Structure 1
């Protein structure tokens, strides 16, 4: 059994940090590590950090984020339903609570993706609601050789974004603007194929890698959303329902191999299931903060009951 299989996030408590069990104590700890330049190193080494027992609340969240996420990014070109609740701070997702959200690296389908993600648990769920995290090396090693070989040339993503009414997200919500020129300029940097449709929608085709190497560790990891963009990754019933509505190329999002060859249903299911099976759950306490290296670690969400509020922010 490899060391990768034993990986889990590093939990840092006030006692370990040697500071008061408060948001102010966490801020002092983070400021010291930032000044010393050791926080970046710690995150790369541990891949994910859970700050627990500091009792962070919304009133003290901004100074914590300023230290963890210098230069916060907007969720531009994101495909998950979210609500913006602050300065580049969002609800983590608004998918119905009864569903599992499979593992993924944030914006791995886009030409520009964050290197860090921070999650803040304002209110833990009554039951469930963990955020599973998966080591990208372990996920890659868990897949059959046939699949990794087929994805060697990358992943072809197709997005159909409506102009205000339709299935899925609108392009206005996706890019946080109603200015078509601004969207066109943004996508011009991505080498994507872009088409504004007659009904006011936007069609985007992008070729992206299936794996990447971390710029510091040179570690190769699984880094794509092929299973999430594939109908089979949503479950048999959902896949059948979508197939009855429209062909795959007309869905809000679809995926193929780099040369346009369809991805077999069984492959999408294997990628989804082995990512989830390889994950470690971060079970939330209200006030917890989770920081992850978005290149090294994928994340998802377990089903839950009761009210749950987890916020997310990201940085380059």
Structure 2
């Protein structure tokens, strides 16, 4: 039975306190017991629907919520939980990563080899993760508050941040025809734009603000300039919202091989390498990486929070995802 006391907030050692008194992320257990056998899935779904305003408020305050100890054991269960929140599903073209549909609104999180880490990035408005198989070691999904990153970078590299706010960033990726499952951003241009016609690919890229230059059968896709800093609507805070960590590949290179990525300021000037290298260190200093437990559901406000993936040290690991808006 879902009541006002259905959820119990708990503290984990990895959480970080925020200046406003919130903790990041919020962690909720069933109030009945830490043992999920005391709660049924239908109770969990009913509680989500009944307390959605409170959950949305908590998500806005904390940026992310980890649900632990609830009876979510399968992809279908996870899909039911996502549906209970009522967020519309988000479909998007131009995706860099390769995902496989599991059931309805549930997909694999990333088909790249699990021993490879994934840099911090944003995706949709809301992003759900579900741990079907917990890793024995490694494989965490680190998360970090974007406004904290902005504030730290503004403090340490004010000139670089001013450039980003004024110029934005332009991203370039060279991609082959077919998918490369060994890459964390391995979608080929055919699957990215859902066509094998180069002219159609150009048209669809243009609708996403990108331009394609063909190098044989490879597509050199340039996107931007795009804003690198955004204002979070609810709080009015400036947030670090860009794909710098994913696209930066060191000092400017003239290589044009499939899988190559690069990033530059919106005016075509190179980014400051020392500032980007410090930024990558700040991400690690400020992030939270809670080890996965089987049955965990992590809900992220992806407009407020960056996320990544730590390399898997000891399998198995199976994390599923659902993207919403």
Match of 2:148 among 135, 138, 156: 138
Counterpart pick for 2:171 among 157, 177, 190: 157
Match of 2:288 among 262, 280, 285: 280
Matches of 2:207 and 2:168 in 1, distance apart? 19
Say whether the 8 Å CA contact 1:158–1:249 is kept in structure 2.
Answer: no
Q: Does 1:308 align with 2:320?
A: no
Q: Cα 1:52–1:179, aligned 2, differ >3 Å: closer, same or farther?
A: farther
State the partner residue of 1:224: 242
> 1:32 Cα deviation (Å)?
0.9
Matches of 2:78 and 2:243 in 1, distance apart? 30
Match of 1:111 in 2: none
Within 5 A, what are the aligned runs for 1:12-91? 12-15=28-31, 20-34=38-52, 37-57=53-73, 58-68=75-85, 70-74=87-91, 76-91=93-108
CA drift of 1:93 comes to 2.1
Distance 1:24 1:2 in 2: 33
TM-score by length of structure 1 reads 0.82
- d(CA) in 1 for partners of 2:213 and 2:110? 28
- Residue 109 of structure 2: aligned partner: 92
Whether the aligned pair in 1 keeps the contact of 2:45 and 2:81 (CA below 8 Å) is yes
Matches within 5 A, 1:224-243: 224-232=242-250
Instruction: Provide the residue aligned with 1:127 in structure 2.
Output: 137
What residue in structure 1 maps to residue 160 of structure 2?
147
Which residue of structure 2 lines up, in the alignment, with residue 101 of structure 1?
118
Tell me the distance in 1 between the aligned counterparts of 2:258 and 2:88. 36
- CA displacement at 1:98 relative to structure 2: 3.5
Tell me if the contact between 2:121 and 2:306 (Cα under 8 Å) persists in the aligned partners.
yes
**Deviations 1:17-61 (Å, cap 9, x if unpaired)?**
999533222211111124xx4433332122101111003122312
Q: Is the 8 A contact 1:69 1:116 kept in 2?
A: no
- Please report the TM-score for the alignment, with normalisation by the length of structure 2: 0.80
Alpha-carbon displacement from aligned partner over 1:229-271 (angstroms, at most 9, x marks no partner)? 0113xxxxxx8xx96xx62697532100111111233232222
Figure out how many residues of one structure are paired with residues of the other and give that number: 297
Classify 1:5/1:196 alpha carbon distance in 2 versus 1 (closer, same or farther; 3 Å). farther
- The 3 A distance-change label for structure 1 pair 211 and 121 is same
CA distance in 2, matches of 1:56, 1:182: 42
Aligned-partner Cα distance in 2 for 1:94–1:70? 25
| Separation (CA, whole Å) in 1 of partners of 2:146 and 2:33 | 28
| 1:104 Cα offset (Å) | 1.5
CA contact (8 A) 1:21 1:53 kept: no
Gaps of 5+ in 2: 1-16
Segments of structure 1 that go 5 or more residues without pairing to the other structure are 107-113, 233-238
Q: Find out whether 1:118 has 2:128 as its counterpart.
A: yes
Q: In the aligned structure 2, how far is the partner of 1:209 from the partner of 1:249?
A: 26
Separation (CA, whole Å) in 1 of partners of 2:29 and 2:305: 21
Which is worse superposed, 142-151 or 89-98? 89-98
Q: Secondary structure at the match of 2:51?
A: helix
Q: Provide the C-alpha distance between the structure 2 equivalents of 1:17 and 1:28, rounded to a whole number of angstroms.
A: 17
RMSD of aligned alpha carbons: 3.1
Alignment CA distance shift 1:16-1:252 (3 Å)? farther
Separation (CA, whole Å) in 2 of partners of 1:5 and 1:270: 27
